[in-house]
Structure 1
Amino acid sequence: MRFAPNEEQLALADAVREPLAAADWGALAAMGVFDSGLAETDLVGVLEAVGYSAVALPVSATAFVAGPLLAAAGDPRAAGVAAGRVRIALAGPDGLTPFGGAADWVLHLDGPSARLGAAAGDPASTVDPFLDAARSTEAEVVTSDPALVRTARLRAGLAVAAELVGVGRRMLDLTVGYVKQRHQFGAPVGSFQAVKHHLADAALGIEFAAPEVLAAAWAVEHDTDADRAVDAAVVLAAEAAHAASRAAIQCHGAIGYTVEYELHRYAKRAWALEALAETGARLDRLAASLDLPEAAR
């Protein structure tokens, strides 16, 4: 089986880069990004582009999770999502909601039902200041259909995995550009073997995780061992993005530790997504699915 995006999917992913960089919600809506008719594999490239831009808007939650769920549940708010008039954030653990401050509604998937509530309440401090996080707990049931809720959860995990791949690529691109132009001892620091090895290892992790994310999207789309596929994709993508952040900061040298420098925006997004991904619980589920003994987990 060949897990690779087709020409149309690649074109869509390329088309959204500019409006994502400009945080242009209207342009994304005009492209059909929020149209729930797009399948999981169609949107993986878009989700990676969301991570690459580290856009401070709930694009993934609205386009990939909430919109399709509302449409499948027959909720009239689905039309507003598809038209780009409604922004929906996704609540995480304990009601912590990334982009809650920029959303009209908040979707909760922490129980047997999918619930939708008004915009999040008190602002919450996170490692990523661009996350615009808030806490939200009040919500009303949209659907209790277990199949719809499960699919929404799978899509939420898949979105995090794809974003982690995208933000990992962005950190590597920034670092490669920097080490090419930064000179030391009369040569670009990128020519030093230690720097090459750090970046090669980080790039290998990203390139290993990316097809796993696409394979997980295919599994969700066809409901083929989707739970395990998504857990594996999230874990691999989180590990790869974390390794990329460490390599990027180290290879930048002193400027990499400066919070005002652009790299920190992407490193902090990677750390925040990794925390929201609940990789520990996913690893436990993967271990259980492989019948690993408790001592080996």
Structure 2
Amino acid sequence: MPGPTRSSATWWPSGCWACHAREARAELLMDFAFNEQQLEFRHQLRALTEKQCTPADVRLAWQSELGWSPARWKALGDLGVTGMTVPVDHGGLGLGMVDLALLLEEAGRAALPEPLAETAAVAVPLLARVPVRAASLAERWMAAAAAGEATLSVADPGLPTMVTAGAQLAVVFHGVAIHAVEAPKAVSIRRSVDGARTLWDVGPEEPPASTAVVRGEPAAELWHAACDNGAWAASAVLLGVADRLIDMTSAYAKQRVQFGKAIGSFQAVKHHLADALIRLEFARPLVYRAAWSLDESDPEASRHVSMAKSAASDAADLAARVGLQVHGAIGYTWEHDLHLWMKKAWALGGAWGDAGWHRARLLGLVDW
């Protein structure tokens, strides 16, 4: 499934050379248009979430032990979503981050509780690159993920012993090795501000040597790539979260009447909403560009990922703050749906490095 591509330059036999040169350079710019298949896949996922992931369904998942629904995960597998990045030989679609981008964005719009980003964008690409000696384990778990029968989790470097609750395979970086731990045992359970992000603490002890799948410098390189994937995936989900927050707030501003007028007619409210939308639209192409860079193994991919994560985190944070301000007191209540997306914006904003950390990385001050 092709993603954003570069078009070839067209040179004309006559006329102004400077004009033709400008036209040629314009044609060489990145085209971020998605193809019909990618858009159709997003449409199918939206149709599924509108039926099976309503705000009431999200609340129900938050109140469960895992924070997400195994039945809905299986439905995502049947649709092909969980196997997007799994190689074709192992039951997946063998696609890349560009193809996954719209689906993660849609997951954010729906406040989807299931660990789609952790599994499809982080764990599967990591397992696909492990050495031959660990290939049988990787193939087995990738096939299970593609079928919607297993969730896989990779520990965030900021929370190195924490994995998604209910994950059947936990991938952690300990010392100089990457370990793939099957059926991880939780030492303790941590709840996040995002009710869907329940975490298992698998403990500070080094996993058994038999669970190591990569060691030494290759492990460090693979882990660095996985962390970039995680930061990018969080930024893609944040686009959808911000989009939904802006839509909800705009709709409320049209309905809420004060001083005899809808508050959305007041210029100050319009400015707040416009600022949030502008911030989102500036972040969106950065996220898409980072997806293309990851797919193409661009040497500048890490830089593009940090640009995307910092921009998307800021956009979602602003959308949440504007949403809360426009809604007023009702936005603070548990009964209103606004908090389902606000809390996801706050949780994902700090996951895999917050906006400040990624800006520091862009300046060369920090690294994974």
Question: Equivalent residue of 1:103, what SS?
Answer: coil
Distance in 1 separating the partners of 2:364 and 2:350:
21
1:108 equivalenced with 2:183 (yes/no): no
Structure 1 residue 270 displacement after superposition: 0.6
Deviation at 1:78, TM superposition (A): 1.6
Per the TM alignment, residue 97 of structure 1 is displaced from its structure 2 partner at its CA by: 3.6
1:57 to 1:42, Cα distance in 2 relative to 1, 3 A: same
Structure-2 residue corresponding to 1:257? 332
The SS at the match of 1:190 is helix
Bigger drift between 75-84 and 219-228 goes to 75-84
Instruction: Point out the structure with the larger helix share.
Output: 1
CA deviation after TM superposition for structure 1 residue 53, in Å: 1.6
TM-score (norm 2): 0.73
For 1:212, the aligned partner's letter is L
2:244 matches 1:215? no
Conserved 8 A contact 2:231-2:309: yes
**Residues 1:226 and 2:301 are matched in the alignment:** yes
Larger Rg: 2
Q: Is contact 2:191–2:199 with CA below 8 Å preserved after alignment?
A: yes
Gaps of 5+ in 1: 290-297
1:251 is displaced (CA, Å) by 0.7
Q: Structure 2 vs 1, CA of residues 149 and 20 (structure 1 numbering), >3 Å: closer, same or farther?
A: farther
What number of residue pairs does the alignment pair up?
A: 288
Query: Which residue does 1:34 correspond to in 2?
Result: 82
1:112 and 1:82 map into 2 onto residues whose CA distance is: 29
Q: Is the CA contact 2:75–2:148 (under 8 Å) kept in the aligned structure 1?
A: no
- CA spacing shift, 1:12–1:97, aligned 2, 3 Å: farther
* TM-superposition CA deviations, 1:153-190 (whole Å, max 9, x none): 22111101101111111111111111111112222111
Q: 1:90 to 1:17 in 2, by over 3 A?
A: farther
Report whether the alignment pairs 1:274 with 2:331: no
Is there any run of 5+ residues in structure 2 with no aligned partner, and where? 1-29, 54-71, 87-93
> Cα gap change, 1:101/1:189 in structure 2, threshold over 3 Å: closer, same or farther?
same
Once the two structures are superposed, residues 210-269 of structure 1 have per-residue CA deviations (whole angstroms, 9 ceiling, x without a partner) of 110000001111122101000110000001110110001001122112233111111011
TM score, norm. by length of structure 1: 0.89
SS of the residue corresponding to residue 16 of structure 1 reads helix
What is the percent sequence identity of the aligned residues?
38
Instruction: Give, in whole Å, the separation in 1 of the partners of 2:277 and 2:174.
Output: 34
Distance 1:95 1:151, change over 3 A: closer
Mapping of residues 1-297 of structure 1, within 5 Å: 1-20=30-49, 22=52, 24-35=72-83, 36=86, 37-73=94-130, 74=135, 75=138, 76-92=140-156, 93-95=158-160, 97=162, 100-109=164-173, 112-117=176-181, 118-119=183-184, 121=186, 122-137=188-203, 139=207, 140-144=211-215, 145-146=218-219, 147-224=221-298, 225-279=300-354, 280-288=356-364
- In 2, Cα distance between equivalents of 1:33 and 1:5: 17
